[in-house]
Amino acid sequence: MGLRPGDVVLVGAEASVQFSGDRALTFRIIRVDTRVTYDGWVWLEGYVLGPAGNALQRRRIFVRQDGLRTVLINPGPRTAGRA
């Protein structure tokens, strides 16, 4: 999975034990740190998202990239523009 700014991922126990159970979160990535770390691990900077998709808290997290799950966010209904 090639992580990019704008991606939304589910961060749970598979990504790191600190996000197990009710500590799992939905995370919108704003920056992927390119520095070399442990094999398969990555530093991400972004926002924890609430149930409505709104940003609740900015965080920097260290997770296993293979443990992240992509989340598709519905942008909501579109309204017709005026002619």
Q: How many CB atoms lie within 10 A of CB 24?
A: 15
CB 3 within 8 A of CB 58: no
Residues with Cβ within 8 Å of 32's Cβ and at least 6 positions away in sequence, in order, are: 3, 4, 5, 42, 43, 44, 45
**Residue 42 has which token pair?**
């990555």
- pTM of the predicted protein model: 0.82
pLDDT in tens, 17-75: 999 999 999 999 999 999 989 999 999 999 999 999 999 999 999 999 999 999 876 65
Radius of gyration in angstroms for the set of CA atoms belonging to the chain, rounded to a whole number: 14
